[in-house]
Amino acid sequence: MTTRKTALVTGANKGIGLETARRLAAIGFKVWLGARDAGRGEAAAQALRDEGLDVEWLELDVASDDSVAVATRDLTARVSALDALVNNAGVALGYVDALDADGRYERPPSRENIADVKAIYDVNVFGPVRVTQAFLPLLLASLPSRIVMVSSYLGSLARASGNSQSPNVMGYGSSKTALNAVTLAFARELAPHGIMVNAAAPGYTATDLNAHRGGRTVQQAAEIIVRLATLEPGGPTGGYFDENGALPW
């Protein structure tokens, strides 16, 4: 068992998750890099170890009850507590295929594939619920601890209703709206126990999720995630933030 500060980042073999793992390890965390694919997960962890960082791969498919259960047993055998959980894993099935030559999304909700929407929810909504419930005993063993739900500007109902230029991405956007509600639900339950639970909007970042069409770097995107994962005791909980402050739900 270890008493060093520890963090688990899901979906961390690339993109924003990988940069978040790097940043947390760089400030002294022992980071568990959650990824479902052994080859990609171990390669990502090794790349960070080559930078002198303390990072290990943890096999974790957030859409699988069995995988989450096994990952929980594996991590519990190695650490006594978890200081930060970053629910980063996410998908946007069908999004790239619906982009025009200028990168504009042009698939209306009436044409979104229901099977894709279900799969999106399984990862983006039920995944964080599965993972948070499973690892909660480790988080409770290291108070105050922090949970970060990686949301999106597209999850804001206020922004969507007040901005006709906002992409109308029903499946992905509504999954992040649901994740915001999940954030509030866990925050209400866990606040009395000293766990801070917040949602982060990293912005439209150049990643595989959008065929690297985003205008922000992963370094910029990770800023708010790392900030929320390292809040001082008594910090905010039940909030929705980007690096500039609170966002409207």
Write out the two tokens for 239: 């909030």
213, 206 in Cβ contact below 8 A? Answer: yes
Residue 107, helix vs strand vs coil = coil
Which residue, among 204, 198, 97, 103, has the nearest Cα to 159 in the 3D structure?
204
Catalytic residue, candidates 95, 172, 204, 240: 172
d(C-alpha 36, C-alpha 242), whole Å: 27
172 is catalytic: yes
Return d(Cα 82, Cα 187) in angstroms, integer: 17
Which of these, 222, 249, 240, 239, lies nearest to 27 by C-alpha position? Answer: 222
Which residue in 110, 105, 60, 65 sits closest to 85, CA to CA? Answer: 60
Report the DSSP beta bridge partners of residue 145.
Answer: 195
Residues involved in catalysis: 172
